[in-house]
Structure 1
Amino acid sequence: MFSKILLFIFPIFIASAPSKNSTNGDIEPCLKEFYQAAYDGVYNCTKEFDFFSKNSTPKVFKSAKPCFLEVAKSECSNSQYNLLSTKYDDFLEVITEEPKSDTSCESFYFKYNSMKCVPMMGDIAAKVAPLAQKHLKVNDSRLLDLVDTCDRVKSCMSPPCYFNDVEKSMITEGCNSINLRNTKFSECLSEIQKESPDLSGYKCLKGVDFNSKAPTDIIDKFSKNQACTKQIMEEFCGKEAVENFDEYAEMTAEKVVQMAQMMQILQGES
């Protein structure tokens, strides 16, 4: 369930900010390809420079010029490569010199530097997809990897003007879902789904299938009927599974509501 929510959030977020065509010296498409290649380690030279860590600064492009142009020559259009190779100092000035505080967030400085966050978002989306139907234990290495990548994405997005509040909120929501999945609460729900025990003796379910995937049933399970849900989870998985139950139940119901709303929007656009 949580993976399905994530499968919506990250791809939609990435698709919501497509690269623009190159106009007036805007090298965004080329920079996007460079950051992706550097993140994937396609070119050996990019491994020598710190483009993505918390301590990374735009000034890395001063010493990385030969490497950057090597990648750009292969990954970018001829026109963009020619622009960069002949006016690299101009590009360097734009990407390294932060505008004064009273400057609009529309500056290319913010636009170009924020793009290094996009490969990390794509990485999360790619890692979430194979886990959608997996029954994972707490602290599974794949979950811990996602948690770590989420922390890096949020740190990358944090500087002023890199992303707006709505965009930051979307990523935070997605990362909260990842953190929620790495709990005994989620592990228990996954275990109940996997084992599919006979829960017919629980009259408080009122005939509703505990493992129903219908959004309305899931929402009710963690809102109107959460006392019943808590009882079942505690008896099936133990007290550890219901620690912070109210918080996790509310979060789960809210995320299912969000997913249902996104589904309606997407269906309306199709």
Structure 2
Amino acid sequence: MQLIFNLFISLLITNLVDSYIRRDDDPEICIAETDNGCRAQLEKKNAMYYKIPTNCVLKNYTEQCQNVMKCASGLECFKGKSEKEVFLTSCDEVGARRYTFDSTCMAPFLKKLFDGGHNCTGDIIVGNLSSQIFKTQKLCFLNIVKNVCDTENFNFFQKNYDELMELYTTKPAVDDGFCASPNDKFNKMQCEYLVGEFRSKTMTIPFLSITNQSNAAVQEVFELIKQTQNCLDNVCLFQRVNEKTSSRMFAATLQSSLTNLTKIFKLRPRLLEYSCLTKITINEFFSEVSICTMFDKKDNCIMPTITKFCQEEILADFGNLEVSVGPRKEVYNTPDFEFAMFRDNKKKRRFVFTMKDDKLI
């Protein structure tokens, strides 16, 4: 169950190396027809595929991609199809492709920027990185790169720094809406950082802390939710079609649960003493809530989740109740039942009626 939730909450955290990002709701069509009818153009285009796109490489690749699209558009298979459908079959999203350089150098570099701790990182805002700051803080940023990237990637970064950061931080002058540019990828990487921060924090904060809205760590979690949602709302690259929907659902579940939990603990303060709830984290509890919401389709999964975590302690509470009176028969064809009055460990008076279904008058 925890594994399922981690996949769910990760949303945008990808481990794709040497692969490009394709949305599941954009299927490729006419693949065989394009391979057969545009083979010469495809071979020239594919020769550019594995090169990290600097301006020159990206320009050359774009030209080859357009040649394939021009050829494919004339095929019978593509008649009546949109330009985007032709693009998806004809072109690999080289600009947005996740290279080893991105995973092992660029992403760790961004994390260092966002984590702060350097003289040049004080004004950094996640999701709002302009090309200007990379120009003014170049020397400082390259010192950070040197400490997080291996020698090969650092040398490549240093040699192509100005060109790379211009590509990554600048939206293409002509935006075709295909989400295939380095800028689209760069924006997605910033969202991944926020999701990663949210995940790591919820794995360390005790679950019951969430009932204290003045708790600094809890406030930070809810602020991260807002930042992540804002980032996701402004990024077009998604590895799965339902990522944005899943993120919104999780945020809504967590925020609405705060009110529900407050009511539950007010009516059942004994729950606050249960070790089953004091020993778990926000991540652990809401992993079960999210699974219940997604798969069991229940409107309110808070109490079922508490019951699942605390079955033993709930039963133990009843096991400590010893005072009972004998059965009292009632007429009118009602079942026998037992009435018990006792005091629990907190010296509170309790009443229990136990129906005996196997004995009917």
TM range (shorter): 0.5 to 0.7
Describe the superposition over 1:199-253 as per-residue Cα deviations: whole angstroms up to 9, x where unpaired: xxxxxxxxxxxxxxx99xx78xx99xxxxxxxxxxxxxxxxxxxxxxxxx72548
Superposition deviation, residue 146 in structure 1: 1.2
Measured against aligned partners, the alpha-carbon deviations of 1:22-53 in whole angstroms (never above 9, x if no partner) come to 95224312111012112222x41342332416
Instruction: Report which of the two has the higher share of strand.
Output: 2
TM-score of the two chains, using structure 2 as the length reference:
0.48
CA contact (8 A) 1:34 1:75 kept: yes
1:32 to 81, 86, 107: 107
- Equivalent residue runs for 1:236-247 within 5 Å: none
SS for the counterpart of 1:250 is coil
Amino acid at match of 2:110: Y
* Corresponding position of 1:148: 223
Q: Deviation digits for residues 68-127 of structure 1, max 9, x if unmatched? A: 211111101211111111111220231132122315212121102221122221111122
Aligned pair 1:20/2:17, yes or no?
Answer: yes
Overall identity of the aligned pairs, in %: 18
Question: Is residue 93 from structure 1 mapped to residue 192 from structure 2 by the alignment?
Answer: no
What corresponds to 2:251 in structure 1? 175
Look up the match of 1:187.
262
Q: CA RMSD in A?
A: 3.7
Q: Per chain length, whose mean CA-contact separation is higher, i.e. which structure has more relative contact order (CA < 8 Å, sep 6+)?
A: 1
Whether 2:168 is the aligned partner of 1:61: answer: no
Distance in 1, matches of 2:196 and 2:220, equals 14
Q: How does 1:82-121 map to 2 (within 5 A)?
A: 82-99=155-172, 100-121=174-195
For the residue of structure 1 that corresponds to 2:204, the secondary structure is helix
TM-score normalized by the length of structure 1: 0.62
C-alpha spacing 1:188/1:103, structure 2 compared with 1 (3 Å): closer
**Alpha-carbon contact 2:12-2:243 (below 8 Å) kept:** no
Query: What's 2:146 paired with?
Result: 73
Name the count of aligned residue pairs: 204
8 Å CA contact 2:170–2:183 kept in 1: the answer is yes
Stretches of structure 1 that go unaligned for 5 or more consecutive residues are 198-213, 224-248, 257-270
Normalized per residue, the structure richer in helix is 1
- Flag structure 2 segments of 5+ consecutive residues without an equivalent: 20-49, 53-98, 273-287, 306-361
Query: 2:154 & 2:261 partners in 1: Cα distance?
Result: 48
Report what 1:125 is aligned to.
199
The structure having more radius of gyration, on CA atoms, is 2
CA distance in 1, matches of 2:266, 2:7: 24
Secondary structure in structure 2 of the residue aligned to 1:130: coil
